[in-house]
Amino acid sequence: MTAPPTILVFDSGLGGLTVLREIVRARPDAHYAYVADDAFFPYGHHGEDEIIARVVPLIGELIAAHKPDLVVIACNTASTLVMSHLREQYTVPFVGTVPAIKPACASSKTKRVSVLGTKGTVKREYTRALIRDFSQGCEVTLVGSADLASLAEKALSGEAVSDAAISAELAPCFIGNGASDPDRTDTVVLACTHYPLLMDRLVRLAPWPVDWIDPAPAI
């Protein structure tokens, strides 16, 4: 009998739990190791070279410790920077997390899409290349949030997070004059795995209904 695979899921914090949840549904037989790099959280506050210098050797240590059959980098900020480095240095297969721009633009009816991510993710050339390649005629607004990942971590740990704080991070995503505007934003890409932790509140606090694109099921 073949032994069940070991899957290592890595994130800067607890946002990767939204990805882990979907992976477990797909492979309930697997063994899992979840690693949150809390000491360096949030990754969006660090420079590109700093993230690469930290994550690449750290993943090497985790591979040696856990001997995974597959590594999932459940972090957009890290994935847009380190995937090529990881694949060059290690033979284990990797799955990354990148903004789900292609499916969002394919499904948008108004052709106006917002990408809500960390400041690091939205400024990456990788993200801009996805827009160039897959926008399919949509107008795509990049929204870099400074604090939403931290707010999600606080909420998950039981700390009080105000509606006003969440709404302030969401507001730039919504372009248009309300739900009746035919040119309004109708789709928001959640380009950080932390954000689905707040999904109930995102839906409630949105100025009008939109489709929220969570990348976890695709991963």
- The first and second tokens of residue 99, run together, are 């903004």
Amino acid at 91: T
Residues 74, 207: Cα–Cα separation, whole Å: 29
Residues 32, 9: Cα–Cα separation, whole Å: 7
Residue 105 a catalytic site member: no
Look at residues 132, 142, 141, 145 and name the one whose alpha carbon lies nearest to residue 102: 132
1-to-4, 78, 193 alpha-carbon distances in Å? 9, 36, 35
Can you point out the beta strands (E) in the chain?
6-11, 31-36, 70-73, 94-95, 112-118, 139-145, 187-191, 211-213
- Kindly name the residue from 105, 138, 173, 192 that is annotated as catalytic: 192
58-to-55, 64, 171, 192, 200 alpha-carbon distances in Å? 5, 10, 36, 21, 33
Taking each continuous run of H as one helix and of E as one strand, the counts in the chain are: 9, 8
Residue 173 a catalytic site member: no
| C-beta separation of 15 from 73 below 8 A | no
Active site residues: 75, 192
